[in-house]
């Protein structure tokens, strides 16, 4: 458990036997953070950046509206992969524009087979590319804050595309998988693929994360979501 405060007194300077008044988090499933009364109230009044969190950085970023989710908003927003691998036709492409002024931290994505069964085993490839492979077209998918209900001024700079045209050329491989084609929910069937970012992977401006999925004859159909953070460069100095 992380504690924020001064031993023996609260942030009003009062002597206390307990340090802190508010708990944020989950004792069993995540980092439990305690924040004293003044810092908690100041954070509510002036913005959560005023709270001196020392917990997992993802907590801080999410509270400040800097973690984003792109996802199929309903069952009609499925994305179909290709019938063969080609560098110019990624199924998904996370694009950090050259003028974004943010560092993109890809956290993970999930693909779940659904709809029409793919025509054979499914290949899933993840690549990190500089300069960004985004060329044109595709669907700019819906992006929302991970902090549901966030009403601050932070907006996403990175864009998640499905079906975009990419420039030819290879980046650095960051994941490979082969899945059997199956959309059933039977016990023991593995029809979901989850990619988690290796430690220390960042996308500077004008970089992209490309995801290729393909199966012979009939491309795979996916329910999907992507999660990433965006950190302005001024926060890194």
Q: Residues 139-188: pLDDT tens digits? A: 999 999 999 999 999 999 999 999 999 999 989 999 999 999 999 877 77
Q: Where are the domains of the chain?
A: 2-55, 67-236
pLDDT band at 55 (very low <50, low <70, confident <90, very high): low
Region 41-57: what's the mean pLDDT?
50
Beta carbons within 8 Å of 231's beta carbon, 6+ residues apart: 61, 66, 102, 103, 105
Percent of the chain exceeding pLDDT 70 equals 76
**The pLDDT of residue 9 is above 80:** no
Whether the pTM exceeds 0.85: the reply is no
Give phi and psi for 235, each to the nearest 5. -80, -15
pLDDT band at 198 (very low <50, low <70, confident <90, very high): confident
Average pLDDT, the chain: 82
How high is the pLDDT of residue 157? 98
Please tell me the distance from the alpha carbon of residue 226 to that of residue 171, in angstroms, as a whole number: 20
Please tell me the distance from the alpha carbon of residue 155 to that of residue 153, in angstroms, as a whole number: 6
pLDDT tens, residue by residue, 56-85: 788 889 999 999 999 987 767 899 999 999
**The pLDDT of residue 31 is above 60:** no
114 C-beta neighbours (distance < 10 Å), count: 17
Q: How far is CA 39 from the centre of its chain?
A: 28
How high is the pLDDT of residue 75? 65
């Amino acid at each position: 458990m992380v504690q924020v405060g001064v031993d023996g007194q609260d942030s009003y300077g009062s002597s206390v036997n307990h340090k802190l008044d508010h708990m944020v988090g989950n004792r069993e499933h995540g980092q439990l953070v305690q924040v004293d009364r003044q810092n908690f109230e100041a954070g509510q009044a002036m913005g959560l950046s005023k709270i001196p969190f020392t917990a997992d950085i993802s907590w801080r970023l999410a509270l400040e509206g800097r973690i984003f989710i792109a996802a199929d908003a309903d069952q009609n927003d499925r994305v179909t992969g290709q019938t063969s691998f080609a560098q110019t036709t990624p199924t998904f492409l996370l694009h950090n524009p050259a003028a974004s002024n943010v560092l993109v931290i890809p956290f993970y994505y999930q693909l779940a087979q659904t709809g029409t069964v793919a025509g054979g085993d499914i290949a899933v490839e993840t690549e990190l590319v500089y300069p960004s492979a985004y060329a044109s077209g595709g669907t700019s998918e819906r992006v929302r804050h991970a902090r549901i209900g966030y009403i601050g001024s932070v907006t996403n700079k990175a864009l998640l595309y499905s079906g975009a045209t990419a420039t030819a050329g290879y980046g650095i491989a960051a994941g490979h998988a082969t899945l059997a084609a199956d959309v059933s929910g039977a016990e023991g069937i593995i029809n979901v693929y989850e990619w988690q970012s290796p430690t220390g992977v960042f996308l500077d401006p004008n970089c992209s994360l490309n995801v290729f999925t393909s199966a012979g004859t009939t491309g795979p159909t996916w329910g999907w979501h992507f999660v990433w953070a965006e950190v302005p460069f001024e926060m890194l100095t």
